[in-house]
A and B are shown apart, each in its own frame.
Chain A
Amino acid sequence: MKLPPGQYLTEDFPVLSAGPTPRIPLEQWRFVITSESGQEHSWSWPEMLALPGEQPTADIHCVTKWSKLATSWRGVSVDTLLADVDTAADFALVHSYGGYTTNLPLADLLGGKAWVAYRYDGDDLAPEHGGPARLLVPHLYFWKSAKWVRGIRLLPQDQPGFWESLGYHNYGDPWREQRYQGD
Chain B
Amino acid sequence: MAPRALAWRTAILAAHRDETPTAATLVLRVPGWSGHLAGQHVDVRLTAEDGYSTQRSYSLAAPADGELIELTVQQVAGGEVSPYLTEVLAPGDPVEIRGPVGGWFTWQPADTGAVQLVAGGSGIVPLMAMIRARQLAGSTAPFRLIYSVRSPGQLYYSAELGSLAARHDGLDISFAYTRAVPDGWPVPPHRLDAATISPAVWPAELAPACFACGPTAFVETVADILVSLGHHPGRVKTERFGPTGG
Inter-chain CA distance A16–B224, complex, in Å, is 15
Is the pair B54, A8 in contact by a Cβ cutoff of 8 Å? Answer: yes
Asked whether A14 and B216 contact (CB < 8 A) given A8-B80, A66-B244, A182-B5, the answer is: yes
Q: In the bound complex, do residue A12 and residue B242 qualify as a contact, i.e. CB atoms below 8 Å apart?
A: yes
Interface size range of chain A in the complex: 20 to 34
Q: Is A167 an interface residue (CB 8 A)?
A: yes
Tell whether A64 pairs with B238 under 8 Å between CB atoms, given A128-B216, A167-B103, A183-B6: no
Using C-beta atoms within 8 Å of the partner chain, give the interface range for chain B: 20 to 34
For B65, the chain A residues whose CB sits under 8 A away are none
In contact, A166 and B103 (Cβ under 8 angstroms) = yes
Instruction: Known contacts A128-B216, A166-B104; decide if A19 and B238 are in contact (CB<8 Å).
Output: yes
Interface residues of A in 90-130 (CB under 8 A from B): 98-99, 128
Q: Give the complex CA separation of A14 and B220 in angstroms.
A: 12
Main secondary structure of the interface of A (DSSP, over half): loop
Closest A residue to B103 by beta carbon equals A166
Instruction: Tell me, yes or no, whether B230 is within 8 Å of chain A by CB.
Output: no
Contacts of B101 in A (CB 8 A): 167, 180
Classify the interface of chain B: helix, strand, loop or mixed.
mixed
Of A15, A99, A162, which contacts B240 at CB under 8 A? A15
A53 in the interface (beta carbon within 8 A): no
Rounded to whole angstroms, the CA-CA distance of A164 and B57 in the bound complex is 18
User: In B70-125, which residues have CB < 8 Å from any A CB?
Assistant: 80, 101-105
User: Which of chain B's residues have a CB closer than 8 A to the CB of A17?
Assistant: 238, 240
The reply to whether B238 and A180 contact each other, CB–CB distance below 8 Å, is no
In the complex, A6→B54 CA distance in Å? 5
- A residues with CB within 8 A of B: 6, 8, 10-12, 14-22, 64-66, 98-99, 128, 162-163, 166-167, 179-183
